[in-house]
């Protein structure tokens, strides 16, 4: 087993930062404040003034926070009259990670461990590896700012609850807008094997609640079977998914070139001999940037209306309700050509990729900040047991960010 101190050919500062970040259990159901406070203290030690935006939990306490920090241009640190915060590039990453429950890990998921040429731990690639590299870059950026050599600012944005619907980033972006801070570009460091991703799909999650009427299973005509009607609606959604796959609204640059619909969960019924009075299921819609919920909801709601009419012929208190649980916008490449050209000159391949998974990138593009994705590690390792990032990927990310910093210099 290789220790963390036996990696001299790799970026030790980034590795040490990643080790510290992984040690914080920031699974989305937990607070991320300990990690944020650690980064806040680090930034303040560099003379920076990070801005925190908080959530509000059910008991009205602030249990999670975003952090946004800027290394200003014009030779002034934050708060000084000469400081310039507008423009520049945001390096964005989420601090929360997915659970490890039920996964068979070979080592403690919250204690970074280097084995061979890989560093293992929850969040190693998704996406604390990128955050570690970004934090490692800050002292150099501060030094350039003090010397008056930073022509445009460098920003670092850390968010909460990305994994459960990108809940934190909108609060941070709103705060930026209130302060009048408008960065030129954003790079979201999701694991992309250090390849440039220029667009991703949006995600909308819906829940359908089918309210039937209970009856003895020998008297089915007296009841309204919630599961049966849920099945009819699910069948229709599956048919609609097929039509999306066969439509002419496609984009061959996406790994799945069309918008998709997928049933995710279902529950209902209490006993085999009781006509069920409730069934609930969820489905998600992953749309191309050129599409939206308007391309599916009217048809689904029309079908719900038809089924409601059938159900209410037996009992007027029955019916189907649909509600939206999550909405993460697609990230479009329509306004990011200049950024794409910049990034293409800094990575090993100028190829432009588009992906089906979603990030906070769409929220930045909706705020008028052209965005691309580029980060260390493979999405294939994300969310799995024994998640890892290759040390070479961290090294590539460090080189990439240093080159990026050069583009901000006068």
**Residue written as token pair 């601090």:** 95
Going by C-alpha positions, the residue among 264, 231, 260 that lies closest to residue 246 is 260
Give the pLDDT of residue 3.
Answer: 38
Cα 7–13–18 angle (5° rounding)? 90
Which residues in the chain come in under a pLDDT of 50? 1-8, 81-82
Q: CA–CA separation, 54 vs 60, rounded Å?
A: 11
pLDDT tens column, 207-223: 999 999 999 999 999 99
Alpha-carbon gap, residue 311 to 319, rounded angstroms: 6
A 10 A CB-CB count for 18 gives 31
Non-local (6+) Cβ contacts of 115 within 8 A are 1, 2
- pLDDT, residue 12, reads 80
* β-pair partners for 94: 159
DSSP bridge partners of 93: 158
Q: Which residues contact 326 (CB under 8 A, 6 or more apart)?
A: 165, 203, 204, 205, 284
Q: Is 401 helix (H, G, I), strand (E, B) or coil?
A: helix
- Given this structure, which CATH class describes domain 202-328? alpha beta
Q: Which pLDDT belongs to residue 366?
A: 95
With b for 16 or more beta-carbon neighbours within 10 A and e for fewer, the 155-187 pattern comes to bbbbbbbbbeebbbbbbbbeebeeeebebbbbb
Chain centroid offset of residue 327 CA: 12
The CATH T-level fold of domain 12-200+331-407 is Aminopeptidase (3.40.630)
Whole-prediction pTM: 0.89
pLDDT tens profile 295-326: 999 999 999 999 999 999 999 999 999 999 99
The set of catalytic residues is 96, 162
Domain range annotation of the chain = 12-200+331-407, 202-328
């Amino acid at each position: 087993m290789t220790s963390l101190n036996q990696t001299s050919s790799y970026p030790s500062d980034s590795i040490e930062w990643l080790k510290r970040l992984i040690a914080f259990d920031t699974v989305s159901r937990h607070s991320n404040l300990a990690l944020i406070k650690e980064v806040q203290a680090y930034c303040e030690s560099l003379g920076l003034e990070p801005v925190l935006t908080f959530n509000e939990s059910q008991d009205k306490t602030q249990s999670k926070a975003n952090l946004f920090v800027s290394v200003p241009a014009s030779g002034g640190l934050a708060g000084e009259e000469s400081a310039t915060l507008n423009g520049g590039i945001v390096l964005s990453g989420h601090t929360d990670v997915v659970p490890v429950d039920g996964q068979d890990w070979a080592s403690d998921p919250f204690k970074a461990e280097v084995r061979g040429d890989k560093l293992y731990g929850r969040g190693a690639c998704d996406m604390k590896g990128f955050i570690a590299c970004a934090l490692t870059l800050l002292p150099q950026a501060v030094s350039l700012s003090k010397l008056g050599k930073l022509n445009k600012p460098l920003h670092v944005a850390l968010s909460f609850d990305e994994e459960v619907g990108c809940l934190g980033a909108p609060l941070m972006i709103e705060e930026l807008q209130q302060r009048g801070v408008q960065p030129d570009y954003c790079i979201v460091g999701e694991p992309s094997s250090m390849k440039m991703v220029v667009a991703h799909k949006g995600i909308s999650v819906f829940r359908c609640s089918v309210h039937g009427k209970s009856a003895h299973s020998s008297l089915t005509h007296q009841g309204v079977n919630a599961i049966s009607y849920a099945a009819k609606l699910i069948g229709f959604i599956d048919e609609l998914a097929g039509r999306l796959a066969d439509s002419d609204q496609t984009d061959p640059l996406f790994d799945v070139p069309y918008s998709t619909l997928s049933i995710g969960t279902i529950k209902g019924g209490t006993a085999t001999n009781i006509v069920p009075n409730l069934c609930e299921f969820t489905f998600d819609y992953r749309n191309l940037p050129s599409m939206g919920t308007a391309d599916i909801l009217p048809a689904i709601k029309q079908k719900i209306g038809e089924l409601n009419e059938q159900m209410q012929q037996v009992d007027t208190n029955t019916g189907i309700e649909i509600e939206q649980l999550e909405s993460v916008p697609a990230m479009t490449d329509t306004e990011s050509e200049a950024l794409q050209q910049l990034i293409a000159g800094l990575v090993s391949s100028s190829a432009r990729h588009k992906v089906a998974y979603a990030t906070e990138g769409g929220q930045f593009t909706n705020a008028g900040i052209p965005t691309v994705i580029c980060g260390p590690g493979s999405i294939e390792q994300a969310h799995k047991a024994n998640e890892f990032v290759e040390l070479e990927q961290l090294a590539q990310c460090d080189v990439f960010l240093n080159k990026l910093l050069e583009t901000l210099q006068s």
